Structure 1
Amino acid sequence: MKKYACCLDEQNAAVSVNHSRSLAVRSSASDYEKLELLSAVQFVKPEKQAQFVSLVEALRSAEYYCPVFVNDHEPRNTPSRKAYCQQLRSSLPFQVVLLTYSTGNNLGDYLYAWRIPSDEVMTTTTMKNHSVISDIESKLPIYHTRQMRKDFQEHVGRLCNVQPAVIRWMYRFLTGDSCAIVSARQADVDRRVLLAIDAEDDSLCGIFAS
């Protein structure tokens, strides 16, 4: 029990450090990627093959170099998901590139797979793979820290005479932030801010106080 408590303390300390960062914990996608070339497997045991039916069909339906999000096809419970990811590497009937991206949080890894022609020269394959990876990277979520949001709010607040609720809307609009609202009162205030902005009626700006 004491060992478990120490482990929780270490995790809480690590989370606190991440919350206080002024840069995203994952600021460079390429630092957290793993790229693998999986060879086609000619024979897979039926009981093992069954769990990959949906992924195989998705890959077969997709064109070459069109990535498929593997996570949409894996089991939901953690133990089965881990086994699925391990067996995946020796269970596909065609040559595939597998990209693993570590999110750095409890969401686990993001896996993308795409078919490549077996007769294509390596130079062409490398160039096309790079293009696919760049496109995936541009769509990966960026997890902002609490400190980043706090810094933004403080800087804007010093420059402009703007209410905190409006600054929160600005941050969400500019970054796509979708973190949970901290209270029902704040949710109501933020809803009214959005109403005022959508209505383009600055006379409504006095109805929110925080």
Structure 2
Amino acid sequence: MTTGIRLIVGLGNPGREYEATRHNAGFWWVEAVAAGKSASFKPEKKFHGLAARLAVNNREVWLLKPETFMNLSGRAVSALASFYKIEPDEILVVHDELDLPPGTVRLKKGGGHGGHNGLKDIIAQLGTPDFWRLRLGIGHPGDRDAVVNFVLNAPQRAEQELIDSAVDASLAGLPQLLSGDFPAAMIKLHTKPKSEGA
């Protein structure tokens, strides 16, 4: 039986100085989910982060923003997942993706970490790469040496608008993600709205 997502983790760095940076795109997504469901994040020391609980179709779904800084994200994910007995394939990690242009969203299960320190630590802490990932495109600076500076800075206005609209549009796939209909979720997430000109 296919189970749906029970834990959605948005990746980012805590602190006001990081709020608007590209690396915090995962935070933006779970904050949008919480706002749409009138849920609020509360500090949860035992989960090393801010957590919000949703009740969806008589099921409990958790939203999590780790407060550990990016390279220790797995500590928060494994703490909440083990406490509530949530399996890796019931976890969705939402993160910024250098290999996709701004405005693009892609869903996939498993795979490597692609140099993303948050994913790297989650894979290490869970002991498997077989969790779902929602990749939010932020673009690439074109030079590997410029990546750290790039992800820790805010997007340009045009890029921010593309990312924001991708976040909003991708929320349409949330019911399918929660019900476990991942093929339908992929169709919703990967199809550009018609108004963008085919």
Answer whether TM exceeds 0.5 for this pair: no
Structure of greater Rg: 1
More helix by share: 1
- Calculate the TM-score normalised by the size of structure 1: 0.24
Taking structure 2 as the reference length, the TM-score comes to 0.25
